[in-house]
Amino acid sequence: MPLWSTPESPIATRVAQQHASIVGTDPTHTASAPATWPLMGEHIDHYGGIVAASLSDLRAAAAVSLRTDGIVAVHYIPTRGEPVHDSIGLQEVATLAAAQQPTTDSEGQPVIPPAPEGGLAARIGGIVHTMVNRQLLSRETAGADITIVNDIPADIGLGAASAADVATALALMGPVDNLDAPLRVRVAEVCTQAVTTFAHQPALRARHTAALRSSGDGVCIIDYADGSVTHAPHVVDQDVTAFAVAVPGDNAEEQSQAISAIRQRQQFIDDACHSFGTESLRLLPDAQQRVVEWLKAVHKVYGEEGRPSINAATEWMAFYAEENTRVEHFVRYLRSHRRNELFPIVLQSQASLTNIYGFDSAEKIAELVTVRGALAARSAHAGLSNAVIAYVPSNRATNFAADLADDGFLLVTLAAGEPAKIED
């Protein structure tokens, strides 16, 4: 399979043309957003850790025009694969939102609503609904036709769905006087909230944040202890090329299992934060010991059913703390240009994802690409993708890509990208 390629014409032009062809009218506004890829830290996002992420030159674009019948109609056009056409009523979206509100039982214990199962229309309709409720769209909004063209390959850890979220939100907003940092923060929060409430796949808020708040130059460093976004020099330069390397094919069964596992970990974090009255476990002093002791008490009073085991929770807490320390060191080495110390940390993170955190979906690919000449490789999004990010010496990159492509792997060159923007 050859390297991933996309049409040469601008994606904003293509999405406007597709919208006019499908809907029968020119779009009111268009916007686009980049692919995102995590260098490290994506599994400590929910814990409140540090995430190092980057943008790619691949993009998703959205075109919108308003309706008056209460329907959100979504037309999704991938570069490869069949188009998807789906729709949902805003009243149904409101019902789905209400079903996700937590309640309490007779003993005052929280009753967790079932995980959302929404598909494409619910996810995109959820963005419309959330933007209205967060006052980013008029309350008079009564539906929309939304066309999405996506040049980002799906399910290989490059944030294809997240890019579509951001592009849709910006297109719905339309041109603004100043798309400044505070407004970009609000849009990112809206996208994450909508995905969390409506979508089958859990949100990775760092993708929405990076797509909107990264400068596009260097690595975007998102510290959820204080919500800050800074930048560091990129590991990818004239000497190092990065590829996403994936096994083509359907990994729906593995992905479904990973989604359940990720939701369990996120719920564990949310329950612990609620019990300790903290916004994130990272801000809780002595969190590793205190959280495990809390869970032991919960088991004693309420039983173990529906809750993680003590061994599992102990491993998760150790992973969160150790991974956060690894990201801190990684960022420090990036900023001090100590490249030789970067890649051992990447390999340590990959080993920890597999052996401690329990996500081994891309372990064999990581081992293979390292044998084939990569300096290091790490899961593109462990559990949710059967793909890795491989860092390869640039003087070997052409042969590296050709050999793996001949073996049937899908390869995407990760060139620098630009942050999300309103096109028209």
- 156-215 pLDDT per residue, tens: 999 999 999 999 999 999 998 889 999 999 999 999 999 999 999 999 999 999 999 998
Collapse the DSSP code of 62 into the 3-class scheme (helix H, G, I; strand E, B; otherwise coil) and give the result.
strand
For range 145-164, the mean pLDDT: 96
Domain count, the chain: 2
Q: Which residue has the higher pLDDT, 16 or 1?
A: 16
DSSP state of 114: P
Determine the residue type at 132.
V
pLDDT digits (tens, 9 = 90+) for 269-313: 999 999 999 999 999 999 999 999 999 999 999 898 889 999 999
């309706």: which residue's tokens?
67
- Same domain? For 42 and 161 the reply is yes
| pLDDT at residue 245, rounded to an integer | 96
| pLDDT at residue 104, rounded to an integer | 76
- Same domain? For 271 and 228 the reply is no
| pLDDT at residue 94, rounded to an integer | 96
> Can you tell me the distance from the alpha carbon of 146 to that of 75, in angstroms, rounded to the nearest whole number?
6
277: left (phi over 0), alpha (psi -120 to 50) or beta: left
pLDDT digits (tens, 9 = 90+) for 38-70: 999 999 999 999 999 999 999 999 999 999 999
- Same domain? For 23 and 103 the reply is yes
- Same domain? For 302 and 161 the reply is no
- Same domain? For 329 and 227 the reply is no
- Give me the percent of the chain exceeding a pLDDT of 70: 99
For range 96-110, the mean pLDDT: 82
> Can you tell me the distance from the alpha carbon of 94 to that of 97, in angstroms, rounded to the nearest whole number?
5
CATH of the domain at 282: 3.30.70.890
Give the H or E element holding residue 367: helix 363-371
Among 172, 202, 233, the domain-final residue is 233
Q: Which residue has the higher pLDDT, 421 or 306?
A: 421
Q: Which residue has the higher pLDDT, 166 or 254?
A: 166
Query: Which of 189, 176, 211 minimizes the C-alpha distance to 61?
Result: 211
Q: Is residue 240 part of a domain?
A: no
For range 76-87, the mean pLDDT: 95
pLDDT digits (tens, 9 = 90+) for 334-373: 999 998 899 999 999 999 999 999 888 788 999 999 999 9
- Same domain? For 194 and 107 the reply is yes
For range 75-95, the mean pLDDT: 96
User: What is the domain extent for residue 37?
Assistant: 11-233
State yes or no: pLDDT of 13 exceeds 90.
Answer: yes
287-302 vs 310-335: helix crossing angle, rounded to 10: 160
Residues 6+ apart with CB under 8 A from 274: 110
| pLDDT at residue 138, rounded to an integer | 94
Q: Is residue 6 part of a domain?
A: no
State yes or no: pLDDT of 109 exceeds 80.
Answer: no
Residues 6+ apart with CB under 8 A from 348: 326
State yes or no: pLDDT of 99 exceeds 60.
Answer: yes
Beta strands (DSSP E) in 315-386 are 376-379
| pLDDT at residue 1, rounded to an integer | 52
State yes or no: pLDDT of 406 exceeds 80.
Answer: yes
For range 311-337, the mean pLDDT: 96
Sign, CA torsion 169/249/86/92: negative
Q: Are 187 and 78 in contact (CB under 8 A)?
A: no
Residue 30 phi, psi dihedral angles, 5° rounding: -135, 155
- Same domain? For 404 and 281 the reply is yes
> Can you tell me the distance from the alpha carbon of 233 to that of 100, in angstroms, rounded to the nearest whole number?
41
> Can you tell me the distance from the alpha carbon of 153 to that of 35, in angstroms, rounded to the nearest whole number?
9
- Same domain? For 218 and 279 the reply is no
Residues 6+ apart with CB under 8 A from 230: 221, 223
- Same domain? For 259 and 174 the reply is no
